[in-house]
Amino acid sequence: LAPLEVTGTTHRVDEALTDYEAVTTYNNFYEFGAGKEDPAENAHTLKPRPWTLSVDGLVARPRTFDVADLLATQPLEERIYRLRCVEAWSMVIPWIGFPLAALLDRVEPLGSARYVRFESLIDDERMPPRNRAPISYPYVEGLRLDEARHDLTLLAVGLYGEVLPNQSGAPIRLVVPWKYGFKSIKSVVRISLVEDRPLNTWQALQPSEYGFYANVNPEVDHPRWSQARERRIGEFFRRETLMFNGYGEAVADLYRDLDLTKWY
């Protein structure tokens, strides 16, 4: 995998990095299977280059970006974030990418835009149907515009100094570190600025278990398991889960008027 040039490390949690091997073999990427080991085994068919990313909807300048051009024109930063899965495991991953806000600036969202809708690739050749877990495709996610513009919200194109391996959502994926991992949609092909709250894939599938916001919250349990503690991959004992995955200082303000029990 090709190395990537970065300007520096702009965010860093002072915790041990999760092994590269674990980061790239323990994945949820249902287009390639429901088992954690399936994406690493099956995602070789993805062909992440060339790749285009359309940004459309309520914007002054809708555009289709070539991801190779984006890599050449956007300064890339390394950011070491915690990743907390809704299944109560977590990792620490050194991502490489650029703020989503930088991309949004280039298309100039209109005043009527309130949400951002993301869509993953779905392609029978590059994601053979025989591998897919039975959920609806394309995978869809969404953020409120202020969440999308938040400085922590990253479009990642690499990890551990290299371009993203296919199973990690090559060539470009979202990373929202204070939300459960399923919000961080992989292999994005389309970003749309919209007026109404998008219905994200997991909420559509099981609304009693997965909401739109999906902020990491140790006090609001998933109906089938507690979210109070998590297993950091590579550690034996579980650790306490932190509110907003430890990013409360930076993001709590976004939700000061929101009942987090209702808007889970």
Partner 1 sequence: MVLKRPPEPKWLGARWVPPATVALCLVPLAVLIGQALTGALFPNPIEALVRGLGDWTLRLLLLTLAITPARRLTGWTRLVRLRRTIGLITFAYAVLHVLAYVGLDQAFHLPTLWADITKRAFIILGMVSFAILAVLAATSPKAVVRRLGGRRWRRLHRLIYPAAILGVIHHAMMVRAGWGTAGEHAVILALLLVLRLPKPRLAGVFGGRGGAEG
Binding residues for partner 1, rule: CB under 8 A, are 19, 21-22, 25-26, 30, 34, 36, 87, 89, 133-135, 205, 221, 223-226, 228-229, 231, 233-234, 236-238
Residue 103: CB minimum distance to partner 1, A? 30
Give the residue with the Cβ less far from partner 1, 80 or 135. Answer: 135
Residue among 44 and 229 whose Cβ is closer to partner 1: 229
- Kindly tell me which of 20 and 101 has the beta carbon lying closer to partner 1: 20
Give the whole-angstrom CA distance, residue 264 versus residue 253.
Answer: 16
User: Residue 105 Cβ, how far from partner 1 at the closest point, in Å?
Assistant: 36
Query: What does the buried/exposed string (b/e) look like for 44-56 if buried means 16 or more CB atoms within 10 Å of the residue's CB?
Result: eebebeebebbbe
Do the bridges between strand 77-84 and strand 188-194 make them parallel or antiparallel, or are there none, so unpaired? unpaired
CB of 20 to partner 1, least distance (A): 11
> CA dihedral defined by 7, 12, 17, 23, rounded to 10 degrees?
-70
Q: Which is nearer to partner 1, 49 or 239 (CB)?
A: 239
> What tokens were used for 206?
């099981």
Min. distance of Cβ 45 from partner 1 in angstroms? 20
Q: Which residues contact 44 (CB under 8 A, 6 or more apart)?
A: 166
